[in-house]
Amino acid sequence: MSKIIPSPGSHPDVKADARRVFDVLRAGGIALVPTEVGYGLMASSSEAVERAFAAKRRRPGHAQGIIGTHALQRALHVLPADKQEMIRTLHEEMDLSFAVVAPYDADHPRLQQLSAATLANTTQDGTVGVFLGGGSLLAELGRLNDAAGQLMFGSSANLTGTGQKFRVEDVDDEIKDAADVIVDYGLQRYHVYGGRPSTIIDFDRMKVLRIGSSYELLRERLAKYWAVVLPVDPMYL
């Protein structure tokens, strides 16, 4: 079975492709999958995360993010109801992709299953980051992970410091070699931002941690509907 899907002559099949990725993650493998902000390396086991980091030449101890659904984000993060509704509206009603950083529930079962090393690499200063991505593939994969109680960790599919990759053809060979399955859905949507990764916002303090793709949209909507004023992006005034 080819590790690149869809195979030549076939078309994307989101449900089947997500199931293939889920099965690989469940077995302790690494998946290279498309997200709106570029291709990412996904893993669910501590060993797979370590192999992904080694392929990226990323230093040990570097923070990693959880890739998940809004339901997972809501369950993990300790935030007031108005902040949670703000996040839900931005993601589900306005179709925006971004990463949420906030204090977390240390007793949540899906965090309790992590090794001490993985938990240390996932959390920082009492917070955890959850990327809420768009697109039908991530949505279906998130549904499968939630149903199985599985966490999925992700980082950009590139050598550390070399920038986002928006086509599989542009991903370095050693990154592709490390993946047990590769989902090639072509050019990804946010390539128009010149290689920027996702925007990261600390919703507890309402502080921007990283200005990234679609930041100007998040900033405008937060000001328009919640009177939250964030710094101007010098590239998109």
Q: Tell me how many domains the chain contains.
A: 1
Joined together, the tokens standing for residue 80 give 């007031």
Residue 237 placed within a domain: no
Residue 231 placed within a domain: no
- Is the model's pLDDT at 66 over the cut of 90? yes
**What separation in angstroms does the CA of 22 have from each of 25, 36, 138, 148, 177?**
5, 19, 11, 10, 19
Joined together, the tokens standing for residue 219 give 């900033």
How many other C-beta atoms are found inside a 10 Å radius of the C-beta of residue 172? 16
pLDDT tens across 72-128, in order? 999 999 999 999 999 999 999 999 999 999 999 999 999 988 888 888 888 889 999
- pLDDT for 236 equals 74
pLDDT tens across 103-116, in order? 999 999 999 888 88
* CA–CA separation, 79 and 173 (whole Å): 41
Q: What is the CATH number of the domain that holds 45?
A: 3.90.870.10
Residue 236 placed within a domain: no
pLDDT tens across 6-41, in order? 998 899 999 999 999 999 999 999 999 999 999 999
Residue 150 placed within a domain: yes
- Give the contacts of 97 (CB within 8 A, at least 6 positions apart): 35, 36, 37, 91, 131, 132, 133, 134, 190, 198, 213, 214
Domain that holds residue 37: 4-226
Residue 234 placed within a domain: no
Residue 10 placed within a domain: yes
Residue 29 placed within a domain: yes
Joined together, the tokens standing for residue 142 give 């998130």
Residue 235 placed within a domain: no
pLDDT tens across 170-206, in order? 999 999 999 999 999 999 999 999 889 999 999 999 9
Whether the pTM exceeds 0.85: the reply is: yes
- pLDDT for 37 equals 94
